[in-house]
Amino acid sequence: MTSPERIFPQRIRSFIRRQGRITPGQQLALDNYWAKYCLDPEADYDFAQVFGHAAPLIIEIGFGNGESLAKMAAANPDTDYIGIEVHKPGVGHLMMLLDQQGLNNVRIYCHDAIEIFEHKIADNSLAGVHLFFPDPWPKKKHHKRRIIRPDFVQLLVRKLKTGAYFHAATDWQNYAETMLANLSAGSGLNNASPAGDYCERPEYRPLTKFEQRGMRLGHGVWDLIFRKQ
């Protein structure tokens, strides 16, 4: 796989590449299914040709182990999904799930999401973008690494179709408040919350095991949904 630093210039990133342990099953999936499910960050694609049909396209940024993305793809076979994740154990786990369930409406970039959005996603092309439980970078000195910044909001507006949505969820209240402020300040997006703040979790977003554990401990979760005007 080509190093991202050789494709795009260096900048402040919203993630750190961690060398997580890869299970034998994940490694098997990485070895056998990479060509089937993973997209080349250097290549240009017509996604209708990639999936074999024209359909609404939703991108999930930072899908973790991929369980939620696989559930959404299985529940919505007429929608196509692109998952973006930099950590190979999660990529391998998602490919395992896709193969086990016979899902063909998901493709994967193992790369920096911002660079994919900037260089590989056409303007006014996406039906939705999901960002579930991104790294909150809780220390104030690291807030500059948070992905929801004004420049990212404007990038979202460019890539979403009119009427399409951006859905974020976090279990860090401070990050939720910052997201709300940045998304509300960005031109071109309307908050789907009647109260102008947070939304109830939609049925299409599955509860993660991590989220369920947090709820049992009394932790809050904040969902934000904004639509392009």
pTM of the model: 0.89
Residue 11 domain-assigned?
Answer: no
Residue 223 lies in a domain: yes
Structure tokens of 127? 């039906």
At residue 32, φ and ψ (nearest 5 deg) are -100, -25
**6 inside domain:** no
Task: Give me the domain span that covers residue 96.
Answer: 22-228
Please say if 135 is a catalytic residue. yes
Domain count of the fold of the chain:
1
* Local confidence band at 115 (pLDDT 50, 70, 90 cut-offs): very high
Q: Is residue 140 part of a domain?
A: yes
Mean pLDDT rounded to a whole number for the chain: 89
Confidence of residue 210 (pLDDT cuts 50, 70, 90): confident
Q: Answer yes or no: is 165 within a domain.
A: yes
Whether the Cβ atoms of residue 108 and residue 39 lie closer than 8 Å to each other: yes
Which tens digit of pLDDT belongs to each residue from 52-92? 999 999 999 999 999 999 999 999 999 999 999 999 999 99
Phi-psi region of 23 (alpha: psi -120 to 50; beta: other; left: phi over 0): beta
Q: Which two tokens stand for residue 104?
A: 């063909």
- pLDDT tens readout for residues 4-20: 444 334 444 444 555 66
Q: From the candidates 31, 46, 123, 135, give the one annotated as an active-site residue.
A: 135
> What are the angstrom distances between the C-alpha of 198 and each of 24, 81, 143, 184?
40, 24, 21, 11
> What's the CATH code of the domain at 193?
3.40.50.150
Does the structure show a pLDDT above 50 at 141?
A: yes
Q: Which pLDDT score, from 0 to 100, does residue 211 have?
A: 83
